Every structure is written in structure tokens, then in C-alpha cells.
């Protein structure tokens, strides 16, 4: 361990690093999010500034997912009560609140959020397994504009353990399958099946490779074919 920082008042539940690698955001059970600056020296990360760049408020339940795009000056966070919030980073202003299921009385959570290069926001909502929601609505993907306007929502057959958004594509892990979707309609366009369930999905900064962490401890690296 090279550094220990205690600023949240409860467990840190989620972390996301900005694509430039200069900042990251944390979400916590204390219902806040904090944005942090990573110090670099000679091109390598050396430490984290112990004073957060910004503390973001607005949730009234545990924060379960976060995403950050410093170039666009936005942070997106989701909570266990099914609410998403868009903030500006520099001022900490709450831009808007997203409710993927505004008319549904069943309990939904937000396990994953993502921000595309052009500001498109993707939200994955999941219903409690005990709430009696119809199968086709238990797992859903939603796409919003950078200002929070709803654009499209689709149901997915299985739980998504992780996803990454780059350019016009979303790469998501469902059990042992990597499913690539077009970002405009969120419909599948390509599928890769592996021998073990996928836990994490990351895309390299130059969009040349997809990194997959599997349940059996293996790291799979897939090359992205240039278009």
C-alpha cells in the first residue's frame, strides 16, 4: 500500500477512472460521490491528491455505479433505489435526475453507468429477483443524451456484469458472452463466447483492444479489428 485516504464516511462501493487517466470518481454508501486528481511524474501515476476536486451530492441511497468524463465536465452516478444523477464536475452542479422506471413501483437498482465519447449516457437497471417483475423487464439498458433526454431503452435477457462504452459501440458481459451493441439502438451486432463467466470489461484508451477479466482468474485480450 502506497497511500491511504479517508474522506468518505462509509464504505466506498464503486470507482471509475476517466479515460485520460488524470482523475477518478468514487461512490459510497454515504450517498456522496467524490472526484479525485491523480498526480503524475515522468508519465507515471505517483499519488492521489488527498483533497477531492469535488464532492457531489443528491442521492438518498447508497451509490452503486459511477462514471466520469472530464473533457465533457460531467459525472454520472446511480444508486440502489434506481435513481441516476448527472453532475458537472467543475462546479458540482446537479444537472438533472434520471429515473429509468418512473411509473414502476417495483424496486430497481442501477448496477452500471457509462459515458460515451460524445456524451451519450448509458444506464443499466436491474430489478430485484424477488419483486415479481416480468422477465423481459428485469434487466434493461437505457441511453440518454448528455442533458438527460431519454433516447432508447431495451431489455436484455441476462444480467450484465460489466460494460464499456467507446465510440459508437457498447461492449457488455453477460455470463460467458461478450456482446457488442450499437450505441444508437443498443441492439446486438456481434457476440464472442468464452469458456468462463466474464467479470469485468475494459477497452484500451486507443480502442485497439478489449480486456476481459474472467471468473477463473484469466485475463483475455481481444484485438479490435479496424473499421
Sign of CA dihedral 210, 214, 219, 222: negative
- Measured CA to CA, the distance from residue 109 to residue 123 in angstroms comes to 10
- Assign 81 a pLDDT band (cuts: 50, 70, 90): very high
Q: 45-56 pLDDT, tens per residue?
A: 888 988 999 999
Q: Is 168 exposed, middle or buried (0-12, 13-18, 19+ CB in 10 A)?
A: middle
- Measured CA to CA, the distance from residue 85 to residue 79 in angstroms comes to 9
- Measured over all CA atoms, what is the biggest interatomic distance in the chain, rounded to whole angstroms? 55
Q: What is the pLDDT of residue 5?
A: 85
Side-chain-side CA neighbours of residue 78 (13 Å): 25
- Measured CA to CA, the distance from residue 53 to residue 39 in angstroms comes to 12
pLDDT at 170 over 90: yes
Q: What is the pLDDT of residue 76?
A: 98
69-78, 91-100, 131-140: range with lowest mean pLDDT: 131-140
Mean pLDDT of 66-90: 96
Q: How many CB atoms lie within 10 A of CB 179?
A: 22
Which positions ≥6 away from 27 have C-beta within 8 Å? 12, 13, 14, 15, 33, 63, 64, 65, 66, 77
The pTM assigned to this predicted structure is 0.90
pLDDT at 2 over 80: no
Amino acid at each position: 500500500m502506497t497511500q491511504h485516504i479517508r474522506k468518505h464516511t462509509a464504505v466506498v462501493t464503486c470507482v471509475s477512472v476517466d479515460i485520460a487517466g488524470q482523475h477518478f470518481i468514487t461512490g459510497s454508501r454515504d450517498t456522496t460521490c467524490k472526484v479525485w486528481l491523480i498526480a503524475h511524474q515522468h508519465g507515471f501515476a505517483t499519488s492521489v491528491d488527498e483533497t477531492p476536486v469535488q464532492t457531489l451530492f443528491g442521492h438518498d441511497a447508497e451509490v452503486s455505479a459511477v462514471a466520469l468524463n472530464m473533457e465533457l465536465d460531467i459525472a454520472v452516478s446511480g444508486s440502489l433505489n434506481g435513481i441516476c444523477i448527472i453532475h458537472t464536475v467543475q462546479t458540482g452542479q446537479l444537472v438533472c435526475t434520471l429515473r429509468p422506471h418512473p411509473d414502476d413501483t417495483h424496486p430497481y437498482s442501477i448496477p452500471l453507468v457509462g459515458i460515451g465519447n460524445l456524451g451519450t449516457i448509458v444506464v443499466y437497471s436491474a430489478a430485484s429477483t424477488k419483486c415479481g417483475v416480468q422477465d423481459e423487464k428485469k434487466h434493461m439498458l437505457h441511453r440518454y443524451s448528455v442533458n438527460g433526454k431519454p433516447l432508447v431503452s431495451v431489455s436484455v435477457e441476462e444480467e450484465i456484469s460489466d460494460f464499456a462504452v467507446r465510440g459508437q459501440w457498447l461492449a457488455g458481459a453477460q455470463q460467458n458472452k461478450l456482446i457488442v451493441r450499437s450505441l444508437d439502438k443498443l441492439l446486438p451486432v456481434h457476440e464472442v463466447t468464452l469458456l468462463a463467466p466474464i467479470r469485468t470489461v475494459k477497452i484500451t484508451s486507443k480502442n485497439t483492444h478489449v480486456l476481459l477479466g474472467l471468473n477463473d482468474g484469466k485475463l483475455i485480450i481481444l484485438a479490435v479489428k479496424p473499421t
